[in-house]
Amino acid sequence: MAAPSGGSSRKRKAAPRGERGASAPLYSDGDDVIPGEVIVTLRPEAAEVMTASVPLHPAARGLTDVGTLGVPDIDEVLTRLGAHDITRLAPPAAGMARTPMALDGVPEPEESTLGRSFRVRIDAGVDTEEAVAQLDALDEVEIAEPNRWREASVIPNDPQFGSQWGLTKINAPAAWDVTKGAASVIVAVIDSGVDLDHPELAPLLVPGFDMVDLGPNPTPRPGWRFEGDFAGRDSIPEDEVGHGTHVAGTIAAVSNNAVGVAGVGWHTRIMPIKALTRVVRISDGAVSGTGSSADVAAAIRYAADNGAHVINMSLGSSSSTSVEASAVAYAISKGVVVVAAMGNDGSSTPSYPAAYPDVIAVGAVQSSEARAAFSQTGPHIDVSAPGVGILSTYLAGGLATLNGTSMATPHVAGVAALVKAVKPGLTAAEIGDILRSTAKPLKDAAADPVPNDKYGWGLVDASAAVLKARGPIVINPTLTVKLRTPIVACPPKTIDLANCGIVRTTIQPQCLEVRTVTKACPVTPTITKTRTIPTNPGQPAGPGAADPFGVEQGGGYEAGFAAGYAAALEELQSGAAGDAYGGELFDE
């Protein structure tokens, strides 16, 4: 479904309210435009000839001194609009704008698109839609669009694994028999940041970034005010909302340590990227997280370029932007699994970034596996996960229980990380296919299809997903079975039979067989001693001459051998002799 371009005069029916006193979203279709900001993406040929030096990040106070791009026709309009504080959304892609492939009609890499995109702050008295129209009419401009608000998809409610019903519901304990996650797998949490000192999270964090850049005096929604760190980017993604910390703890937490909560992954690493800042409702002090699509796009690009394997975005609003869509496509092109929340207004209106192509969109279910009333629906939903009464990490090293598709999404991102840990070579598309194909089918009526617009393919199943990723265990070339506990074969054993009779081997717990050996007692042969007439009349007679064993006097060779054999056998049966090869007699 195409997202409307928006307009402040457009009216919408109020969105359904969620569970447990849930409030409507901060922003709805048409009123999520950030006043005084536009995003401009230049055409490749214009980007090649621009002369202005535009920084990637603003200065410490959240402003730059750049007001033009060094392209005459564009600069004329920018000056008329009172443009100031221009920043890049991503580093320029050197040499990528006009490659021979691009000239031949081959699609341009998303990396190049992001490198030609800029956030431009304009005079507060200029209508944003009018500014967009003037810039978009220029031949040098590929697209001009408003910057749009994004908000955390959470519904507040308010160290115990037993209280974490969601982990049991998605079969995480069974998945832990296969893998508890790997330190080599990184999930980027693009959110309000993370409590960097939280004992359940700090050991699992990798360096992240604070991408929030709303300027020194952002204009909040009426009845709200901004607080905390919202101007200027830096390398300290400290959480001032609690939302990102809660999301991170569901994905991964230091587990099996008799403290706090467990995460879907025990060893998965978290990359905290702050794209939402703290906003407070003046009437009652309610706290939420809000940010811009431009900062979200920059955060996605940062995660993809800095080693993230999975991106979790528990945020969104009802309007799309081209820069955000390009950032998502760029991350997916680099093999990153992108997971996002469906949204919490209970409607079928698409929420972005969840509705962008190839994003794994996640809805929320209750403990009964019925859809949470606040969870948005639509044909783009992929899977569902627990999203009501979810206990996880929170600010100041604490814990909190929250509701929302924000809480469902990290369950799925955590499972994606487990799948990646089991089989690192899987592509993003393959991991998405595994999550969908192994989900437990859910539907409201027996006749409903699967997938459907309410649950997608169904409830994510961590155990089934990691088992499918691992594949079958091969015991031998002719037998292939799927096992959770490998078989240990009994080692070969030499049995010492000092006496005849029945002897059993020592039973080993991991063996599959008990060996019983029956040793028949030897039978003494009957030997008849007879005198043998020498066949050679000329053979000498007498002791030792024809009888080498000295048993028979005057007998032949055969008689002496028989007597000697009988004497030797009698000695062996008495236990007084050994084997000629130095071992025990009758070795098996």
Six-digit token string for 367: 């403990």
Set 198, 243, 267, 411: catalytic member:
243
**How far, in Å, CA of 483 to CA of 490, rounded?**
18
Set 31, 32, 191, 295: catalytic member:
191
Cα-flanking dihedrals φ and ψ of residue 289, to 5°? -115, 135
**How far, in Å, CA of 477 to CA of 496, rounded?**
33
Going by DSSP bridges, is the β-strand pair 33-42/117-121 parallel, antiparallel, or unpaired? antiparallel
**How far, in Å, CA of 435 to CA of 473, rounded?**
21
DSSP state of 353: T
Set 293, 347, 406, 463: catalytic member:
406
Q: What residues have CB less than 8 Å from 464, skipping those under 6 apart?
A: 171, 438, 439
Q: In angstroms, how far apart are the furthest CA atoms of the chain?
A: 142
- Mark whether 411 is an active-site residue: no
**How far, in Å, CA of 36 to CA of 63, rounded?**
14
- Mark whether 444 is an active-site residue: no
**Residue 434 CB: number of other CB atoms within 10 A?**
22
**How far, in Å, CA of 507 to CA of 155, rounded?**
58
**How far, in Å, CA of 415 to CA of 410, rounded?**
8
Side chain identity at 178, as an amino acid letter? Answer: V
**How far, in Å, CA of 508 to CA of 503, rounded?**
16
CA angle 429, 435, 438 (to 5 degrees): 130
Q: Is 268 helix (H, G, I), strand (E, B) or coil?
A: coil
- Mark whether 84 is an active-site residue: no
Helix axes 128-136, 72-80, angle to 10 degrees: 160
Active-site positions?
Answer: 191, 243, 406
